Amino acid sequence: MKKNIIILFLVPFFFSSCEKRKFEFDLSLNLEETYIVDHTGNFSESQTITRSDVMDALSIPENAEIESVSIESIAISIQVLNDNEASALLVSGMAQLGNGSPQIFNNFPISLVGVDIPFVGINSLIADGVEGIKDKIEGYIKGTDSAPFSIEISGDSSPTAGQRVHVQILIQVKGNVKYTNCEDALPFMGADCS
Amino acid sequence: MKSKKIIVSVCILIFAISLVHGQDIEDMVSKYTQENGQGYMQPLADAFGATFNSGLYHSASIKKLGFQAYLGVVSSFAFIPDSKKTFEATTEGFFEPVTTADVPTIFGAAESVEVDGNGGTTYVFPAGLNVSMVPFIVPQLTIGSVYGTDLTLRYFSVGINEELGDVKLFSWGIRHSISQHFDLLPVDIAVGFYSQTFSIGDLVSAKASVINAQVSRNVMLFTFYGGLGYENSNLDIKYTNTAEDTEISFKLKGNNKIRFTAGVTFNLGPVKINVDYNLSDQSVLCAGLGFGIGK
């Protein structure tokens, strides 16, 4: 009798054996590109982003199933360098994707008051450009695309055009990679792996 | 049977470990570096505190003087209510427009919530683990009695790996019989204080304490017991957000303050089987199996 009671008590624990359960993970992606501009008048600088740049910034388990990739924000930061004459800039961004060159943002104004301008979110993003970057990153992660792409920054001094611009521009692309993976867990966690 | 027991033990630990495994926790909450992180993690702090402070007694009867001991295993189950599966979060960072939404906590739905923003952007509020209950199992020793006072100890230490370090729990508690000072009381009454520390390497550190008044009465093979407790718990979580190369830490305080306990112990000679329910902000069902000698 006693033995049966003890067994009855322990049974629920033995049933709680490990099994593979599916979990969703949302991994932050943070890409930063640096541009040095030392030019008088209209400027244009480009930085290339490769598949390995993206993959190195992420740590995704081998068996993970990629659900989606999204771009959350694009921000810009400027450090004013020696002999810069511009008090403000109008900056545009363009994605060179190989199969198209959609604009990411157009004539975004940045005041160069002080030496280091902290990151400012670009609130006038253009969906075509953002979508283009998203598709490239998704292609890299899913292994369907390996061709590099570029983000080109162009602009001029403002309100007086044609001044010497000597600055370091940082472009920050923040995104999210949603993936699912089966992990060892208790049966009352996560979802079925099937 | 031995291997099955090992699997069970590992599974029980896996819950805690899977929550704090460096990569996993980062992938779950790397988005939450600010206030949302507190809301996301808060139910975890509540569940940890509630389970730690459960199952500490199964009777209020303490001998005045003489050897009395109990050695057993205590299992606690915090059932996660729906109210602890979502919280109100606001988009962070440079995402525009700033948007508020009801999103999963760490115990919430295993699906993220997405909000569309300007210019093709999307903000993702991370998914939860879809957890319906949090189990906690620990060995416990209670030994006494010196002038109606006994000591309760809980301890385990398991090395996981180099990255995580050790999972450690240490708990002590002391309680004193009040009823020994009064004749003709129909019930046993005791007061106790218990303090517990738990850690997983440098990633998680938790503390919980409870002070309680306990009452029990023996009826044939059964001991009916209950109590009222005041408790506190803290859970600190620290990890590195590699996407931004920053160290994130959350200091969480459990919401549980007052708990009512009601339970019954089945006394089969030295074998004690007990079940109790703890009603609080985060309620807990608790069961114990052990061997007791003495009163």
Report chain B (295 residues): mean pLDDT per 10 consecutive residues.
42 46 55 79 87 93 91 91 94 94 92 94 92 85 93 85 75 95 91 92 86 95 96 84 70 91 95 95 94 83
pLDDT at B268: 92
Q: Chain A interface, mutation test: which of B3, B33, B74, B118, most A Cβ atoms within 10 Å?
A: B118
pLDDT band at A58 (very low <50, low <70, confident <90, very high): confident
* Mean pLDDT calculated for residue range A49-71: 91
> Which of B121, B127, B243 minimises the CB distance to A28?
B243
Closest CA to A91 of A144, A151, A25: A151
How does the average pLDDT of chain A come out, rounded?
Answer: 87
Interchain contact B55–A (C-beta under 8 A):
no
* pLDDT tens per residue across span A161-188: 999 999 999 999 999 999 998 877 777 7
- Residue position matching structure tokens 């700033």: B98
What pLDDT shows up at residue B222?
A: 95
| Residue B233: partners with Cβ closer than 8 Å, 6 or more residues away | B45, B46, B48, B49, B50, B52, B53, B206, B207, B208, B209, B253, B254, B256
Tell me which residues of chain B, numbers 10 to 29, contact chain A at a CB-CB cutoff of 8 Å: 10-12, 14-15, 18, 23-24, 27-28
DSSP B64: S
Residue A66 CA to residue A59 CA, distance in Å, equals 12
Contact between A27 and B117 using a beta-carbon 8 Å cutoff:
no
Q: Does A81 contact chain B (CB < 8 Å)?
A: no
pLDDT value of position A19: 76
pLDDT digits (tens, 9 = 90+) for A140-167: 999 999 999 999 999 999 999 999 999 9
Q: What are phi and psi of A139, to 5 degrees?
A: -65, -40
Q: What is the pLDDT of residue A122?
A: 95
**What pLDDT was estimated at residue B243?**
59
**CATH architecture of the domain formed by A30-181:** Sandwich (2.60)
Q: What is the pLDDT of residue A18?
A: 67
Probe site for chain B from A3, A8, A23 (most B CB atoms < 10 A)? A23
Buried-exposed string B21-54: b where 16+ CB fall within 10 A, e elsewhere: bebbbbbbbbbbbeebbebbbbbbbbbbbbbbbb
pLDDT at position A34 is 96
Domain-wise residue ranges, chain B: 2-79+136-293
Average pLDDT over residues A69-86: 95
pLDDT for residue B2: 41
Q: Would you state the pLDDT for residue B267?
A: 94
Residue with the bigger pLDDT between A110 and B295: it is A110
What pLDDT score does B130 carry? 87
- Taking the Cβ of residue A134 and every Cβ of chain B, the question of whether any pair is shorter than 8 Å is answered with yes
Domain boundaries, chain A: 30-181
B119 and chain A: CB distance < 8 Å anywhere?
Answer: yes
Cβ-contact B128, B69 below 8 angstroms: no
The nearest alpha carbon in chain B to A135 belongs to B120
Please name the member of A23, A178, A185 whose beta carbon is closest to the beta carbon of B14: A185
- Which residues in chain B have their CB less than 8 angstroms from residue A185's CB? 14-15, 18
Q: Which of B230, B226, B224, B197 is nearest to B212 (CA)?
A: B230
